[in-house]
Amino acid sequence: MSNEILINDLVVRFANVNGTGSASANNMFAKSVFRMGIPVSPKNIFPSNIQGLPTWYEVRVSEKGYLGRREGVDIMVAINAQSMAKDVQEVKSGGYLIYDSTKLLAEELFREDIHYIGIPMIQLCMDHYPESSQHMLLKNVIYVGALAALVNIEVEILEQLIKEQFKKKEKLIPGNIQALHLGIKYASEHFVCPLPLHLEKRDLVGDRILVEGNNACGLGALFAGATVGSWYPITPSTSVMNAFEKWCNKYRVDPDTGKKNFAIVQAEDELAAIGMVLGATWNGARAFTATSGPGVSLMSEFLGLSYFAEIPAVLIDVQRSGPSTGMPTRTQQSDVLAAAFASHGDTKHILLFPANPTECFDFTVIAFDLAERFQTAVIMLTDLDLGMNDHLCKPFAWDEEKKYDRGKVLSAKDLDEMSFGRYLDVDGDGIPYRTIPGTHPTKGSFFTRGSSRDEYAKYTEDGDVYAKNMDRLVKKWNTAKTQVPAPEITIHNPNAKIGIIYFGTSSYAAQETVDLLKEKNILVNEMRMLSFPFSNEVKQFIDQHEQIFVIEQNRDAQFRSLLMIELDINPNKLLKVLQYNGMPITAAFIYQSMMSQIK
């Protein structure tokens, strides 16, 4: 056990019982680190269960600003008897175990190489609060207090957080603040505080915010002008529509009439949810839905209709571990191929891959523009890690000058001045013009259908006409390559022979890995993918390197397949780095996987 002092670099894990109100206490800890100006990255690790099972909350604090998960627990707050034996084993050698010492800890739970910090949490509650109903909740605040003393969190910040949390239930504030101090006092009196492993105030956070990806998606849809939302509940996407509804109720209700400038329908299933989206966009509104893997499976037929009949749709897929029900509360990036090629026949869809909540906001707005510009489905692939955890990210920004891109929609005046063929490639970019029902008394109406038709929307089974239309769709796809967000390429060394490709939430750990490799004098260049179809730079980047590592969180290297399929790349060149245990990928994992494969 070293006595080295480590500042602002630790992982704290809270082991709780689901449904005991620990979430807000744990969250208070993370937020206080954030308010001390130190980069922080919290993660919920929860069961697919409402109450009773073990649940964890893990907080990584990183002076260097790394926001990916890091293995190894420095401080375990072990409150769950059910998982105690396992939790004890997770603590790094030299680390700390904070537990409720009201009851004696069983002998087999003792390890030689870690420190035990017993705080009699329930006892303190019983001594100070008459109502037993409060004990469970206040116990959580007591351990936050103890932690505050042990790792040196500013008390004022925590008190402020308590006040904010109970803004609407002021009666509860004094009791909670008292509990906080009970924890602080007990820890300071019985242990040497702070521990060698502790926090120091910094200014490393700047104007960044701490927010969940799903919340950011809902906000993005508000700013993007979505007026129709339909969805069917599924973890981990449910909070997208909840957020959208919350924001709409705040900013889209007419103050005079109380009437709503939006409509949200909880559909009977995902088939209906996406059907409603297509009906609404066909009729000229911006509409979207949010779901996860099983929902994408059900939506596939309609996604094919969207592609072939050229009807805009925005779908936010918050990925979880598949296949089938898989591990519904664990993260993964395993819907890549299902989303890219959703539906039968030759179909492909525009995909967006945000990596943080700021991008969830921005890309949601972009998704609506792209969907209308290209009259097709745009699927944004986030994941549980991004959607349901707080992430430190740049504040949301909005350009007041921005206009919504409604695409090639003809007005009554346009129709008076021109002849209209729904699927004519007038501009040579593969994108036809459309009309919205009700626009013009005599011109511009047409029949939307999923069966083959000619350029004037007339049904046909003529094979040549069909093939011509399919080729125009490819042309449109090629146009899209130039308008989707381009990859973010970082060339550390123009002579580097190794390139890494990653997307979404793998980005945090991938970027950290670059630093780990640098320490071993291995230089790699990076390409962070933001979208599909792939622009020309993607092929160039791959061509410029001898070995390309594709980092992703699924078993079958789906993104690598997509690169191979779309760009005709020699599979031998694309090496796999795959984590698929449902936990967010870590830099240590990527590093090891790469080291074993570098030639």
Partner 1 sequence: MTYVKPSFRHPKLPVNKIGFARREYEGAISTLCAGCGHDSISGAIVQACFEMAIEPHRLAKLSGIGCSSKTPTYFLGNSHGFNSVHGRMPSVATGAILANKDLIYLGVSGDGDSASIGMGQFVHAIRRNLNMLYIVMNNGCYGLTKGQDSATADEGSINKSGAENMFQGIDLVSLSIELGATFAARSFSGDKHQLIPLIKAGLSHPGFAFIDVISPCVTFNNNVGSTKSYDYTREHMEATSAIDLVPVKTEITNSQEEGTTQQIQLHDESYIQIHKLASNWDPTDKLSTITKIFEAKSRGEIPTGLMYFNTESKDLHTVLNTTDTPLNLLQKEVLCPGNAKLSGINASFR
Task: Using the minimum distance from each CB to partner 1, give the nearer residue, 49 or 261.
Answer: 261
Tokens found for residue 568: 């005709």
Q: State the minimum distance, in angstroms, from the CB of residue 228 to partner 1.
A: 5
Q: State the minimum distance, in angstroms, from the CB of residue 459 to partner 1.
A: 7
When binding is defined by CB under 8 A, the residue of 116, 446, 466, 580 that contacts partner 1 is 446
Judged by CB under 8 A, the chain residues 353 through 412 that form the site for partner 1 are 395-398, 400, 403-404
Dihedral over Cα of 491, 495, 496, 498: its sign: positive
Strands 531-532, 350-352: pairing is: antiparallel
CA distance 231 to 565: 32
Interaction of residue 219 with partner 1, rule CB under 8 A: yes
Task: Using the minimum distance from each CB to partner 1, give the nearer residue, 240 or 578.
Answer: 240
Interaction of residue 341 with partner 1, rule CB under 8 A: no
When binding is defined by CB under 8 A, the residue of 86, 202, 413, 449 that contacts partner 1 is 449
CA distance 490 to 228: 38
What one-letter code names the amino acid at 234? I
Q: State the minimum distance, in angstroms, from the CB of residue 208 to partner 1.
A: 8
When binding is defined by CB under 8 A, the residue of 49, 427, 459, 536 that contacts partner 1 is 459
Choices 11-19, 85-93, 429-437, 584-592; region in contact with partner 1 by CB under 8 A: 429-437
Interface with partner 1 (CB under 8 A), residue total 71
CA distance 487 to 586: 22
Helix runs in 290-383, H state only? 293-309, 336-340, 357-374
Beta pairing partners, 61: 10, 40
Contacts of 398 (CB under 8 A, 6+ apart): 223
Choices 96-104, 121-129, 219-227, 508-516; region in contact with partner 1 by CB under 8 A: 219-227
CA distance 373 to 126: 63
Interaction of residue 225 with partner 1, rule CB under 8 A: yes
Choices 111-119, 141-149, 273-281, 566-574; region in contact with partner 1 by CB under 8 A: 273-281
Task: Using the minimum distance from each CB to partner 1, give the nearer residue, 82 or 249.
Answer: 249
SS3 (DSSP) at 253: strand
Task: Using the minimum distance from each CB to partner 1, give the nearer residue, 227 or 531.
Answer: 227
Asked if 485 and 352 touch (Cβ cutoff 8 Å), the reply is: yes
When binding is defined by CB under 8 A, the residue of 115, 135, 252, 573 that contacts partner 1 is 252
CA distance 251 to 360: 19
CA distance 113 to 91: 9
Judged by CB under 8 A, the chain residues 138 through 197 that form the site for partner 1 are none
Asked if 386 and 216 touch (Cβ cutoff 8 Å), the reply is: no
Interaction of residue 451 with partner 1, rule CB under 8 A: yes
Judged by CB under 8 A, the chain residues 482 through 511 that form the site for partner 1 are none
When binding is defined by CB under 8 A, the residue of 118, 120, 175, 284 that contacts partner 1 is 284
Asked if 526 and 499 touch (Cβ cutoff 8 Å), the reply is: yes
Judged by CB under 8 A, the chain residues 30 through 89 that form the site for partner 1 are 34-35
SS3 (DSSP) at 91: strand
Interaction of residue 234 with partner 1, rule CB under 8 A: no
Task: Using the minimum distance from each CB to partner 1, give the nearer residue, 204 or 564.
Answer: 204
Judged by CB under 8 A, the chain residues 566 through 595 that form the site for partner 1 are none
H or E stretch covering 42? strand 40-45
Judged by CB under 8 A, the chain residues 288 through 317 that form the site for partner 1 are 301-302, 305
Interaction of residue 276 with partner 1, rule CB under 8 A: yes
Q: What is the dihedral of CA 74, 125, 50, 328, to 10 degrees?
A: -10
